[in-house]
Structure formats: C-alpha cells, structure tokens
Amino acid sequence: MSPAAAPTPGATSALAPFRQRVFAWLWLGVVVASVGMWAQTVGAQWLFVDDPNAATIVALVQTATQLPVVLLALPAGVLADAFDRRWLLFATQAYVIVVAVVMTVLAAAGRMTPGLMLALMFAAGVGLAFQVPTWQPLIAQLVPRSQLAAATRLDMVSVNVARAAGPAIAGAIIAVWGVPPVFAFTAVCAAVLATILLMWRRPSPMVGDRERFLPALRAGGRYVRHEPVVRVILGRLAMFVAPAAALWALLPLIASQRLGLQAGGYGLLFAALGVGAVLGALTLGRVQARMSSNTLLSVVGLAYAASFAGTMLAHGLLVAIPLLVVAGYGWTATVSTVNAELQLFLPGWVRARAIAVYLMSFLGTMAVASPLWGVLTQAAGLTTAVGVAAALVAVGAVAGLAVRIPESATADRAALAYWNDPSLGIAPEAVGGPVQVIVEYHVTPEREADWLQAMQSMRRSRMRSGAFRWELYRIGERPDRFVEIFAVPSWAEHERQHQHRLTAEDQAIEQAAFAYTVTTPRAEHLLPPQPLDDRAP
C-alpha cells in the first residue's frame, strides 16, 4: 500500500474512471441490473406479506438470496478466471432474465407458493453469486491502475444507489400494478446490462489453455492461504464487518424503539446511510491523498463507532440523520478501501477467485454476526447491544494500527516469466502428476542462517503460485549442500507457474535467496514414470 502522496487527477478524481467510456457504460448497466435485483427481493417479500407466516417467509427471502453467494462465489470466481468475463457476465444476465420471467408468469397466474417463491429466489441468488465475482475483476481491465481505487469506490456507489432505488421503484410498481410487474421489471433491468455487453466492441482476448475446474479451485485456495497480505486484508475486513453489521441488523429497532418512527422515518434513516455512502465514494480519493490507507481505516472506523453509539443518544431525526450519514461514510470508506487494496495487490491469474473469497468472507461474516446481535439485543436490550458493537468497532480500528496492510501491497503484480524453460529428455503428460521440482543449493556455514531465513519467503512463493507441498533438506554426505523440493499437482500446473503465476516479487524472493549461495542453484524435475517410446525426439 502506497503512503500518502500528492494528489493527481488520474489517481484521486472521484469521477476519473468515467472517462473510460466502456467502464462508464458497464457501470451504468450494473447499476440498472442491481436495481432490478433489489426490486425483485421486495416483490418476493410483498407477495406473501399477508400470509399467516409472513414474518418467517419475509426473513427467508433474504436468506434464499444471499446463501447462493456464500456457497457459489468461489466456484464462480474459478469460472471468471478461466473464461472471458464479458460473456460470462452476459450469460449471467440471460439466466437472470429467465428466472425473472418465470417468476412473472407464476405470480400473474396465481400459482406462486411460498416454497416455490423461495426456490426461485435461491435461483436468482445464483445469478448474483456469478455477477459480483465476474464484474469486480473486470473493473481492473477497464480502467488504468491509477484509477482502480476510484473505480472501486464508484462500484460501492452503484451498490448503495441500487439498494435505495430498487425497493422504492418496486413499491411504486406494486402500488399501481401489483407484484407480478416487479418481476418483469427485473428482467428488463437485466436486459439493459446484457444489451450493453453485446454492444461492447473489443478485440477478442487471447485464450490459452484453460485450467480444469477442480485444480483451479484448489490453486485459488492455496494462493489465499499462503499469501499473508491477502490474509491481513481479509482480517481487517472481518475486524470491521463483524461488529459494524449490528447497525444494519438493529436499524429497524433503533427506528421504532429508540426514535419512535414509522415506516417513512425508517426510510429516511436508510436514505441517510446511502447519502453517507455516496459522499464517501466521491471524497475518499482526496482524503487518501493525505493519509495512508491504514490510517484512513482506523480514522473512519472510530468515526463509525462514535456515530453508531450516538444513535442511542439521539432523540429525533434531526440528530439521527447526521449520525447515520457519518456511519454510511465510514462503512463505504472501509469496505471500498479494503476492496481496492485487494484489487491492487492481486495478480491477474487469481483475481476473480480471491475476490470471490473476499465476497464470501464479507457476506459470511455479516450472515453470522447479524443474528448474534439480534440475540444479544433480545437478552440484554438495544442500548447494551449497540454499545458493545460500537466498542468492538473502535477496538478493531485501534488494533488495525498494529495489523497493518503492508505498504508494498500495491506493487506491480503483472506476470513475469523469468524461469528458464526446462530441458527434458521426455515429453511429460500435461495432466500427469504430481510433479516434483528439486533445487540444489550450495551454502557456506557462515551464510547458512541468513539463507534459511530467506527460504521461508521462498516457501510462500512456491505455495501461493501452485505447489501443494514444500520441503527443505540438508544432504547428509555434504553438509554445505541443501535440497529444496516442491510438488505441484501436474505438469500443466508447473507450466502455469512458469508462464503466468510469477511476479516481480517472486523474482526478488529468489534473488535474495540465491545471493547467499556459492553457485547458481540447479533445478531438476521428477515426473511420473512413462513408457520409453514417449521420450521427446
């Protein structure tokens, strides 16, 4: 993560990404499609608002919509890394249209039962599970790297605009025409994004050998598990979201029990959060020009905690609305900053998979934390629950000064193929494996301690780029010689290490370790046995 620097128009202007015409159109399409999804959720809830089990059904609609995202985001990320994201996003919109049309027909015919409606909302959630891990990595392809943080904040604006506009439009449609047209509206919104995708003219991307699904899934998991920067970023996200989610879970109770508001007043509180979110997206670029992202996360975390706690002291809308504007600002500032740091850090080959893990962590944390805050409120009261949540947000903000995202997180992550092609006497099978790579090192005793320390970074480099096992041995007959052994699932996986998965950071790690050796290390490859007639000519 880069330290504070002087603002530049391309890096800090909130609207700079809109200068990229394709991004501007696709952003607009995503906003419209998201508005349709939120309207669909409201329509599904309203359809059974008079049912004897309405409270349970309405709550389950949210669960049915979000559960597929938690379950399927990572597989969706695998596909988004393997296929053309434009066409995968288009296929997702076509799928959303089909689901929405089916809901329209069934609702208009009076054939929609609660169970069927929940099943269809689960199906709609599958579309959401594929849309987000496909769209967010696509942003990095549409804007210059200097504008990526601003583009991520604009994506947060789209989320909040859709969250506010979708329910409002759905309510207006229901008031005039009833529920079925809401589902038709969702189909039209998805068609808008699909049309924009079809109109996007660009050269066909280079398509190489696609990774098989399960190996790609495992490779993405290994990368996240063995990349400490990603783990720190996800940890900072969880430290904030787990207690901060209490605001979203308890806002209806704050409106009704604390402020004595009806539905209209609750809507104003929700709108105040949205206003804060939009202000955050529009001004954060200039704020980040004056402080590092680590400092920003701590400052806005403390502001969020103070404003959230302050809602228990508010006695009316005039006090509560400014507090919630601050809270909305803090929420967007935190989530968009963490998201931008992750996007800037990730190499292209695993971007969609890692963002899918981010999405699963984000929604999973909210899904687990929200009901726990409800239980605490039920047991100890609203004031206690809000106080505890706000205190934990503040503690997390202060702890973040120690759990810092490294300032190198925004270093160039472009693929760098610096390994020499191996000279093999046999043509290996691409899917045969596992393959073991042996590297021998000659290290003098006086440099051994420093070299062993450097090899710990080497282990992380090998594991995050595709190895599933790494070991280091000393040769007993020659105590100044060491052998590094790392295993990859197949020869195809090892070729991907050579061509696509290594970065300048990995090269620096190798150079640091090789600097302690007497001679240049030499690698050999252990392959599964093959018939002699398979040897290369």
Which tens digits make up the pLDDT trace of 58-106? 657 767 887 888 888 888 888 887 778 888 999 999 999 999 999 999 9
pLDDT score for 83? 78
Beta bridge partners of 526: 436
Instruction: Report which of residues 472 and 496 the model is more confident about.
Output: 472
* Residue 196 CA: distances (Å) to CA of 28, 81, 296, 354: 9, 21, 36, 26
Residue 219 — pLDDT band, cuts 50, 70, 90? confident
Residue 463 — pLDDT band, cuts 50, 70, 90? very high
Residue 288's closest CA among 297, 280, 296, 298?
Answer: 296
Q: How large is the angle between the packed helices 228-253 and 213-226, nearest 10 degrees?
A: 90
Output the six-digit token pair for 170: 């759905």
pLDDT score for 1? 39
* Residue 296 CA: distances (Å) to CA of 11, 89, 225, 366, 477: 17, 33, 26, 22, 55
Output the six-digit token pair for 453: 């320390």
Q: What is the mean pLDDT of residues 409-418?
A: 71
Would you call the peptide bond into 434 cis, given omega within 30 degrees of 0 as the criterion?
A: yes
Q: Are 463 and 502 in contact (CB under 8 A)?
A: no
Output the six-digit token pair for 145: 């790297």
Q: What is the mean pLDDT of residues 375-400?
A: 91
Residue 346 — pLDDT band, cuts 50, 70, 90? confident
Q: Quick check: helix, strand or coil at residue 485?
A: strand
Q: What is the mean pLDDT of residues 244-252?
A: 82
Q: What is the mean pLDDT of residues 492-505?
A: 87
The pTM of this model reads 0.75
Cα 161 from chain centroid (whole Å): 19
Q: How far apart are the first and last CA of the chain?
A: 49
pLDDT score for 54? 61
Helix (H) or strand (E) holding 486: strand 481-488
Instruction: Report which of residues 210 and 302 the model is more confident about.
Output: 302
Residue 212 — pLDDT band, cuts 50, 70, 90? confident
Residue 183 — pLDDT band, cuts 50, 70, 90? very high
DSSP code string of 76-91 = HHHHHHHS-HHHHHHH
Please tell me the number of Cα atoms within 13 Å of 392 on its side-chain side.
19
Averaged pLDDT score across all residues of the chain: 84
DSSP state of 212: P
**pLDDT greater than 80 at residue 3:** no
Output the six-digit token pair for 38: 């939120």
pLDDT tens readout for residues 112-164: 888 898 899 999 999 988 988 888 888 888 888 778 878 887 887 787 778 76
Residue 537 — pLDDT band, cuts 50, 70, 90? very low
pLDDT score for 260? 81
Please give the single-letter amino acid code of residue 105.
V
DSSP state of 420: P
Structural domains in the chain, CATH included, are: 13-145+163-201 (1.20.1250.20), 211-411 (1.20.1250.20), 435-534 (3.30.70.100)
Calculate the CA dihedral of residues 19, 24, 25, 27 and round it to 10 degrees: 170
Output the six-digit token pair for 462: 């090998």
